[in-house]
Amino acid sequence: MGRHTWDLRPSPTSQSLQSAQSSRSAQSAQSSAQEAQQIVNLTELLVSRISDFEAARPNILRAVPCCEVLRSLGGALRGIRPRRNPSFTTATIMEFWSHSWHGGVWIKVLTMFMLKNGPMAVCFGWLGALLMAALFATGMLPSYERVPFLQTGARMYPFGPWSLCTATLVATFTLRCWRRKTSVFLDVLCIDQDDARLKTEALLSIGAFLKKSQSLHVFWDETWVRRLWCVFELAAFIKSHGKEDVAANLVIRPTLLGTCSVSIFGGCFVTSLAFLCVPFDDFELGYVLFAVGAFLGSYYAISSMRRFYASVEILLQQLAGFRLEQALSHCCTTGHRNSDGEVVMCDREIIQLCISKWFGSVEQFEASVRSDLSGALSDQLGNGSFSYLWLILVTSPIQWSHLDMVAARLSADDWSGAAVTATINLTYACWAFPSICRFAMLLACRARHPCSGFVADQLKTLMVFSLCVPISLVFTTLLPGRSNADMLS
Ligand SMILES: [Zn+2]
């Protein structure tokens, strides 16, 4: 939630706000004691309006299609105002997006793209991969002869990384351009930023926005828990939905998830490309060349995994020691004066009173966040963010390169070789690579704490990579492949 002041000018539909406004307009002519009393009265009025989860007037609930939030690479989140207001009135909102304006913008936008468009991007990538595999198998695309790693038939096959490269391009394009229509609440697009009265009415209705939202999606960075309005959104969602509903519909994802996922995806692409291009007629040399490609592809991925788990640890610490008083509000940092020197009301007071009304006391709300929520969310923040399905998704380039390997056999009319390669590669894709990836994440989690020096920190990442090499070798030699190719061919 952004900066604001409570503007209570006359509203044609709100009698109570009219009386509040008339008393406020008389402030300048009255004593400071009267002024203070009026602020108390206004505070009580605001608290009663917000805490009952009712909208200030009909048709104030607004949402935007997800694609409008992501338009212009998340322009709305980077302070770019859309030419026309993309929001629409609605009775229910599918996803309420809660985020802090004080964290990194680009990593947050990337995470939104990955979470919302990532699965569709991979689906379209697969369509591109299958199409190119069919074209390659029928001899319609250029190729180069090479000795493959998996010797499941002939010694040499015509190869081409067509599925891998096309699918990656299609997936990247879909990630950027897919227009997902899910209705979303994003403060800057669903609350009028120009009309102070409309803005105040929307803020008065923030409880109603949360009550009418089917799920709350938190894009969590280190600053989120320190922003009073973000914490308030969480409190309002818990109160208006009940514990069981909250467990099912509260989705918390660290904003580093996008960077980490993209770096794993990129690492898999580079490694797979090396695997498709390196000739294995001199096996040792081929393996060294492949290892260089794998190192270049994996190093940054491991580094970002370490940063991801370091951020998750900070988030869990923040949850475990959660105190409402640590959260900041813009009004308090400006001494409750606007740019014209006028007194503005304190958000903190209003929010604390609402929370006390809902949970009995601020302390009870804090205890609820520390115990119930912290336990439920610890898995979401760590392994839940990287579920098996998500790992399959971010390691897609490996599967697409496997399709190229099958297409190579098919183009040489080696159907049995293609069937064996497909079976082996399916096992790799569904079991070996997600397991290697999970092992790498486990090591990265263990080595998450950053070192003080740059070189020392890079060495720590290098150490994680080095430890992943033997486990990768174990996995790849356990499976049928080069080692027992004679048996299969
Ligand atoms: Zn304040």
Which of the residue ranges 72-81, 234-243, 373-382, 480-489 has the most confident prediction, judged by mean pLDDT? Answer: 72-81
Q: How many CB atoms lie within 10 A of CB 67?
A: 17
Burial 259-270, CB ≥16 within 10 A → b, else e: bbbbbbbbbbbb
CA of residue 40 to ligand 1 center, whole Å: 13
CA of residue 232 to ligand 1 center, whole Å: 14
Which of the residue ranges 8-22, 33-47, 158-172 has the most confident prediction, judged by mean pLDDT? Answer: 158-172
pLDDT, one tens digit per residue, over 35-62 is 777 777 778 888 888 888 888 888 889 9
pLDDT at 374: 67
CA of residue 359 to ligand 1 center, whole Å: 21
pLDDT over 90, % of the chain: 32
CA of residue 328 to ligand 1 center, whole Å: 8
pLDDT at 334: 82
Which pLDDT band, with edges at 50, 70 and 90, does 486 fall under? very low
Distance CA 39, CA 346 (A): 9
Is residue 377 scored above 80 in pLDDT? no
Please spell the DSSP secondary structure of 65-90, one letter per residue.
EHHHHHHHHHGGGGTPPPSS---EE-
- CA-only gyration radius of the chain, Å: 28
CA of residue 338 to ligand 1 center, whole Å: 12
CA of residue 24 to ligand 1 center, whole Å: 18
Is residue 435 scored above 90 in pLDDT? no
Q: How many CB atoms lie within 10 A of CB 386?
A: 20
Would you say the C-alpha torsion 14, 17, 22, 25 has a positive or negative sign? negative
Residue type, 442: L
- Structure-block tokens of residue 258: 């996008």
Is residue 11 scored above 50 in pLDDT? no
Residue type, 342: E
CA of residue 94 to ligand 1 center, whole Å: 31
Q: Do residues 286 and 293 make contact, with C-beta atoms less than 8 angstroms apart?
A: no
CA of residue 273 to ligand 1 center, whole Å: 55
pLDDT at 430: 83
CA of residue 353 to ligand 1 center, whole Å: 13
pLDDT at 437: 85
pLDDT at 111: 95
pLDDT at 10: 42
Q: How many CB atoms lie within 10 A of CB 314?
A: 15
Choice between 368 and 264, residue whose per-residue pLDDT is larger: 264
pLDDT, one tens digit per residue, over 77-117 is 998 888 888 999 999 999 999 999 888 999 999 999 999 99
Distance CA 278, CA 284 (A): 11
Per-residue pLDDT, averaged over 14-19, amounts to 44
Q: Do residues 252 and 377 make contact, with C-beta atoms less than 8 angstroms apart?
A: yes
Choice between 200 and 74, residue whose per-residue pLDDT is larger: 74
pLDDT at 17: 44
SS3 159: strand
For residue 199, which phi and psi values (nearest 5 degrees)? Answer: -65, -45
Which pLDDT band, with edges at 50, 70 and 90, does 475 fall under? confident
Residue 89 half-sphere exposure, CB side, CA atoms within 13 Å? Answer: 6
Distance CA 257, CA 220 (A): 10
Q: Do residues 167 and 143 make contact, with C-beta atoms less than 8 angstroms apart?
A: no
* 165 CA to centre of own chain: 25
Residue type, 21: Q
CA of residue 321 to ligand 1 center, whole Å: 22
Which of the residue ranges 26-40, 149-163, 263-277 has the most confident prediction, judged by mean pLDDT? Answer: 263-277
Per-residue pLDDT, averaged over 2-11, amounts to 50
Choice between 139 and 378, residue whose per-residue pLDDT is larger: 139
CA of residue 210 to ligand 1 center, whole Å: 22
Would you say the C-alpha torsion 169, 423, 296, 281 has a positive or negative sign? negative
Residue type, 37: Q
pLDDT at 228: 86
Is residue 12 scored above 50 in pLDDT? no
pLDDT at 325: 85
pLDDT, one tens digit per residue, over 224-278 is 888 888 888 888 898 888 777 777 888 888 898 999 899 989 988 998 898 888 8
CA of residue 350 to ligand 1 center, whole Å: 9
CA of residue 420 to ligand 1 center, whole Å: 68
CA of residue 335 to ligand 1 center, whole Å: 7
CA of residue 356 to ligand 1 center, whole Å: 17
CA of residue 346 to ligand 1 center, whole Å: 4
Choice between 408 and 471, residue whose per-residue pLDDT is larger: 408
Residues 6+ apart with CB under 8 A from 277: 146, 159, 161
CA of residue 228 to ligand 1 center, whole Å: 10
Q: How many CB atoms lie within 10 A of CB 226?
A: 16
Choice between 476 and 352, residue whose per-residue pLDDT is larger: 352
CA of residue 337 to ligand 1 center, whole Å: 10
CA of residue 1 to ligand 1 center, whole Å: 14
pLDDT at 9: 44
pLDDT at 326: 82
How would you classify the pairing of strands 93-99 and 183-185?
parallel
Per-residue pLDDT, averaged over 431-439, amounts to 84
pLDDT at 20: 46
How would you classify the pairing of strands 93-99 and 213-220?
parallel
- Give the distance between the most distant pair of CA atoms in the chain: 97
Per-residue pLDDT, averaged over 332-355, amounts to 82
For residue 279, which phi and psi values (nearest 5 degrees)? Answer: -80, 135
Distance CA 151, CA 144 (A): 17
CA of residue 329 to ligand 1 center, whole Å: 6
pLDDT at 15: 43
Residue 158 sits at the vertex; the CA angle it makes with 152 and 161, to the nearest 5 degrees, is 95
pLDDT at 73: 92
DSSP state of 451: P
